[in-house]
A and B are shown apart, each in its own frame.
Chain A
């Protein structure tokens, strides 16, 4: 029996041996991971982390034609008030003159429901979502509270599916169940795989074929049809850049899952190849597409940086026997990029940086900074598992001694490392950057909605931003001079990883 046949996707701790508590160097990390499982280390002092619900709603709120229902207390889902700004931005880019943003509801469980169950409220919410918005999909996301009071969201979904036109997708996303926020991707793809990959009713219309030549063209097109996997933190311009590169190899590109209509997901089963641009994000889904629908996949590199983008393209080209074309494309793109980067060298070379983000993005971005001549003092992936390995290796090739601190944020560790290594530049995600800013250094957010860092144009864009920010970090310098960090002086004299309690065994 495959995981997909179960109601709930397994936790990444169990499926991949993923862990999110480590401090040391890359060599030690790889030794502890041992190719299979990071120890279940704990922190004796913790700061607010990220549960799987946050990346969960980041991804789900992008789906057009969809209502997302948070089944839980009314606080869960409030992050959508921020995440919707990216959704609105994409809707504007798509030509929508009056963008709606994300449509979502909360079942608003209160003290009575905690005692007597919240399924009735959830039912009412689903019916209202159908009546008010006529969406293609209604996504029911179970948060902590129903996970503990025992509401059966799968039962509710199955029961109501008979009266509701929208596909109802139950998703188990209880924050307390896993420490690895990336479990969210599996939880979502689990439900997508169970509910959106079959065509209901009419079969897909065969395209009208005018003549034999057209027929041949269509056949070639179908033989080059690929799934490009995006993610919530891939901007429109990044998606455009990766699409451009694939099209330059003669491929036909369809993009999933973010900003993809629920009714279109079934098309993913008809591609000849799936291409991941973030292994940590996609493996659960791509493995399922291969197992059940015979769509092979490539899942190795994140196309950030010159070498990584080249390797990403080479893997894809090999599948289609387009090696020669790919080498020509890579050579041309690299030459143009390197020429364009020349003016930034003087300002970037020799600077020191600290990078924090999801594992693959953190390692890949750090490796690109090395290509720009920036030294990496530490890298802080949110978690670690096998998918981080190739990008970590790339990073360590140039600097064996780089500090690796596996942590889902935990700024007290960041700042401790900071005061000891004194970087010039910090790159982290939203919610994380401000602490580096108060430490007085230049900050380039590693991602936001209008940002680009993938492919060749992204590499240029990133270098351009770093160059700009380094030109005048005085705003943050004033923060350091005028504001106080909340930590006692004594903390900065301690080992940064003092509160990491190593589990005895794997």
Chain B
């Protein structure tokens, strides 16, 4: 439930958008919108403009089947139209899984889509449904709602668990423009711990991986905030426990992440120490060769980190703990109710480096400048003024104006990212931290 206020330049999809992006991230999957005629394309426009130019994919974007309900359906109910739409979708569009997703209008009029879904399932159609009306929340909420539906109605029950098999989620397709790379890096690392890892949405993963996910010994949610209810639903339906870990970026956080996973699965200390040592050696092998420039050119920066509840704390921790920067202000832009803020706070209270950041929950873009002015008083004309400089803003495309306004460098990492193109890049783990360093420092040296 939201914090009951308007948002200025919000940084997410609606619930339907999050669910749609999640559905289109699954292989061979066909979403069917039961919504007003404009919802699909509006979401697609946001997708193109905000997620590093992530395209429609197999059957998303303007190809997304949609019942396009109008006044008639809103007055008389939309189920007949939905039944017709599903029937014809199955005839025309090829898929291994079809997912009905509702929008605001059909949720408000109370169309019982599950009744239609049951009809088609009874005939053997691979169809599920989720109620994802936009007013139910943001894109992260839509992701969670769809995951719950997938775990309840698509993942097959397995009573025997495979101890070394894990499912990994918490990195939200589209809402995180770097979801593919981020899932890829973490999946790879966990694989090196000897685990069989399902990431569902990552490139190359097939639908079978999701269908057969029910025998996993552990679910790993790489987020303190997203996909948690889905993990609870999974546990309730399939009996697999879960752990929730902060999104790990860089050696300090990734080491903690690996130890958390290892301890939950009783993986030997020797094995996890070996992996951590090997990864750290590799990471510092690269750092070795940038250390000259870091020190010769004074690469340290004050920083403001603006982003979602995964990225803002994760990047702040990397900058403070590993990279020696000064993230004075961390702004979490999600519309989180008080009850869901605690874990984010906890992750930033005791930083390994002892560095203290100011954490604020603020949804509104233009407020970031005011928040910085509160903690770092503007110059009142004194000749010797301790300026917030040299500075860097790690945020979204919406924070460029703020960054340029304070003379800071800027990198878009968190939604919306309309000024970068993203394919397989990711920022998690050791590998991702190196990409992040490349991207940050390339901005610093761009004018040289």
Chain A residues engaging chain B, CB cutoff 8 angstroms: 43-54, 69, 72-85, 97-101, 103-114, 121-122, 124-125, 128-129, 132-133, 144-145, 148-149, 175-177, 179, 181, 408-409, 411-412, 430-432, 434-435, 484, 486-488, 490-491, 499
Contact yes or no, A144 B104, CB < 8 A: yes
Contact yes or no, B39 A47, CB < 8 A: no
Task: Out of A75, A82, A490, name the residue touching B13 (CB < 8 Å).
Answer: A75
Nearest residue (CB) in A for B405 is A98
Contact yes or no, A44 B84, CB < 8 A: yes
Min CB distance A107 to B, Å, is: 5
B428 within 8 Å of A by Cβ? no
Chain B residues engaging chain A, CB cutoff 8 angstroms: 1-2, 4-10, 12-17, 30, 33, 36-46, 48-50, 55-56, 58-59, 61-71, 74, 84-85, 88-89, 91-95, 104-105, 108-109, 133-138, 335, 366, 397-398, 401, 404-405, 416, 418
Task: Out of A51, A79, A101, name the residue touching B36 (CB < 8 Å).
Answer: A51
Residues from chain A with Cβ under 8 Å of B418 in the complex: 81-82, 84-85
Residues from chain A with Cβ under 8 Å of B67 in the complex: 46
Residues from chain B with Cβ under 8 Å of A72 in the complex: 104, 134
Contact yes or no, B13 A176, CB < 8 A: no
Contact yes or no, B65 A431, CB < 8 A: no
Contact yes or no, B16 A75, CB < 8 A: yes
Min CB distance B94 to A, Å, is: 5
Min CB distance B404 to A, Å, is: 5
Min CB distance A77 to B, Å, is: 8
Min CB distance A48 to B, Å, is: 2
Nearest residue (CB) in A for B66 is A48
Some 25 contacts from A to B, beta carbons below 8 A apart, are A44-B85, A48-B41, A48-B44, A49-B68, A53-B38, A75-B14, A76-B134, A80-B49, A81-B46, A81-B397, A83-B49, A84-B49, A84-B418, A103-B8, A105-B6, A105-B7, A108-B5, A108-B6, A110-B136, A128-B8, A145-B105, A145-B108, A175-B38, A487-B93, A488-B94
Contact yes or no, B43 A105, CB < 8 A: no
Contact yes or no, A111 B38, CB < 8 A: no
Contact yes or no, B41 A50, CB < 8 A: yes
Min CB distance A470 to B, Å, is: 23
Contact yes or no, A486 B16, CB < 8 A: no
The 7 closest A-B pairs by CB, nearest first: A48-B40, A51-B38, A75-B14, A82-B49, A78-B46, A73-B134, A79-B45
Query: In the complex the two chains form, what is the Cα distance from A181 to B91 in whole Å?
Result: 28
Nearest residue (CB) in A for B65 is A47
Contact yes or no, A125 B85, CB < 8 A: no
Contact yes or no, B38 A132, CB < 8 A: no
Residues from chain A with Cβ under 8 Å of B66 in the complex: 46-49
Task: Out of B5, B45, B74, B401, name the residue touching A78 (CB < 8 Å).
Answer: B45
Query: In the complex the two chains form, what is the Cα distance from A47 to B40 in whole Å?
Result: 8
Contact yes or no, B63 A111, CB < 8 A: no
Contact yes or no, A484 B58, CB < 8 A: yes
Nearest residue (CB) in A for B136 is A111
Task: Out of B17, B74, B93, name the residue touching A148 (CB < 8 Å).
Answer: B74
Query: In the complex the two chains form, what is the Cα distance from A203 to B126 in whole Å?
Result: 68
Query: In the complex the two chains form, what is the Cα distance from A46 to B133 in whole Å?
Result: 19
Contact yes or no, B404 A79, CB < 8 A: no
Contact yes or no, B7 A108, CB < 8 A: yes
Query: In the complex the two chains form, what is the Cα distance from A489 to B122 in whole Å?
Result: 26
Nearest residue (CB) in B for A113 is B135
Nearest residue (CB) in A for B49 is A82
Task: Out of B30, B92, B137, B416, name the residue touching A110 (CB < 8 Å).
Answer: B137
Contact yes or no, B135 A110, CB < 8 A: yes
Min CB distance B58 to A, Å, is: 6
Contact yes or no, B1 A110, CB < 8 A: yes
Query: Given A51-B42, A79-B46, A100-B401, is A110 in contact with B84 using a C-beta cutoff of 8 Å?
Result: no
Residues from chain A with Cβ under 8 Å of B37 in the complex: 46, 48-51, 175-176, 179, 408
Min CB distance B45 to A, Å, is: 4
